[in-house]
Amino acid sequence: MRFAVYRSFVDCDPKPDPRLVLKIAETKEELEACFTLLHDAYVSSGFMQPDPSGMRVTIYHALPTTTTLCAKFDGEVVGTLSLIRESVFGFPLQSIFNLHGVREKSGNIAEVSALAVHPKFRKTGGSILFPLMKFMYEYCTTFFDTRHLVIAVNPNRIEMYESLLFFERLVENSVEHYDFANGAPAVGASVDLHLSPGIFKQVYGKKPRRKNLYLYFMRTKLRNIVMPSRRYFTTNDPVMTADLLDHFFNLRTQTFHQLSERERGLLHSIYNLPGYKRVLPVVFSESSFRNRQRKHQRYSLKCPGSFCAIGTENSPVQSLRVVELSDDGFLAHSKDPLPTGVWGEVNIHLGSEERSVMKAMVMRGKHNGSSGFYGFKLAEPDLPWRKLVGALKAGTTHDDLDNATQFLLDGTH
């Protein structure tokens, strides 16, 4: 009955005010406005003590695997949330809640965090919240390669997520103190976005349009949403330049200064480019120095492709999903077993208009009956391949990929 009451308050406008724009926060001004809005919302709710900076900034906001979404009305940021993909830093909630049941299922996980709506829009029937949630759903399912969302929320708000969006409580679903929110009580929950369309259709399918979240999330096109432009099939959108990291995590707040030695080493392993060294916190121990030498991708990939063995009669064309690239090879998933030590032709779609066709050999791999993971060696990388690999290794933000040619070592265009 309580869920029915929550659903009765749904009011989703299929044509929001054109002054509303939803996009990735990427400029210093947009990020600062998001962090300020979040700070004020957390302080007023008792989730944090006031910070001298007037902003709520966490180490997760510094990571290239975190995307901050914002809602702007007439140019002013009036709503925000952050999507935190799992990285070497993990998730904020994983120290308290058991994610084993979610991890048993296939698909990537992201934590929804740092949600805030400006006070003047909190009583407007979800005019900011629902578009922001729709933006989150579309971004996760089409751009962020995410299947499962997890959240940690105050107990008095969990029923909203359960009733409207069908989140299910995690196994360890209640804690008395959640350190990430000033010791406030919290409940953990998750949702499987692959199952959402069917559930939404069943519950909302016959409701009037403005109360029909199935039509709103799955069928409605909001012109207010500005998705990032992507030249290549990457799945995250890093925005933190060295100057932005310095501004938010050194100058305006003490976030970097408060990191442990291990966390400092991990940060160096993520931003292992010369341009970042001057703004990253100093590491002292030998173990942290070794950590710094490991490379952690700033970009994840999901490039469709195929492999066909050469010199074998009636060789089948086998589908691939490439997830990591290097100068002379790549790693890919395949539903079919692939022969090792055999040369073949790979055809890989690097982007909507970028493709590499090359000779490659399967060097190693393992197949478990339903899927396999294989390492390939290239005979000779072609120009599109070298452009992308150069940008992935030397680029700092997602905008750099649009100008990938600048990262070619030999200057070939």
Please list the helix, strand and coil fractions of the chain in percent, rounded to the nearest 5, in that order: 35, 25, 40
Q: What is the pLDDT of residue 1?
A: 84
d(CA 264, CA 289): 9
Please work out, in degrees rounded to the nearest 5, the angle formed at the alpha carbon of residue 29 by the alpha carbons of 25 and 35: 65
Residue 78: what pLDDT? 97
Give the whole-angstrom CA distance, residue 367 versus residue 333: 9
Q: Along the 413 residues of the chain, how does pLDDT read in single tens digits? A: 888 888 988 999 999 999 999 999 999 999 999 999 999 999 998 889 999 999 999 999 999 999 999 999 999 999 999 999 988 898 988 878 889 899 999 899 999 999 999 999 988 778 999 999 999 999 999 999 999 999 999 888 899 999 999 999 997 645 555 666 666 688 999 999 999 999 999 999 999 999 999 999 999 999 999 999 999 999 999 999 999 999 999 999 999 999 999 999 999 999 999 999 999 999 987 665 555 445 667 889 999 999 999 977 778 999 999 999 999 999 999 999 999 999 999 999 999 999 999 999 999 999 988 889 999 999 999 999 999 999 999 999 999 998 888 888 654 54
Contacts of 65 (CB under 8 A, 6+ apart): 84, 85, 86, 87, 236, 238, 300
Strand partners of residue 301? 234
Closest CA to 219 of 196, 245, 189, 248: 196
The residues near 5 (Cβ < 8 Å, ≥ 6 apart) are none
Is 220 exposed, middle or buried (CB count within 10 Å of its CB: 0-12, 13-18, 19+)? middle
Q: Which residue type is seen at 155?
A: P
For 203-232, give the DSSP string. HHTTS-GGG-HHIIIII---TTB-PPP-SS
- By three-state DSSP, how is residue 304 classified? strand
- For residue 104, the 8-state DSSP code is T
Predicted local confidence at residue 379, as pLDDT: 97
The Cα–Cα gap between 187 and 173 comes to 5
Which residue in the block uniquely carries the two structure tokens 């105050």? 154
| Element housing 71 (H / E) | strand 66-73
31 Cβ contact partners less than 8 Å away, ≥ 6 residues apart: 25, 61, 68, 239, 244, 248
> What DSSP assignment string belongs to 119-133?
GGGTTSSSTTHHHHH
The pLDDT value recorded for residue 411 is 47
- Which residue is associated with the tokens 């971004």? 139
> pTM above the 0.85 mark?
yes
* 348 and 303 Cβ atoms separated by less than 8 Å: yes
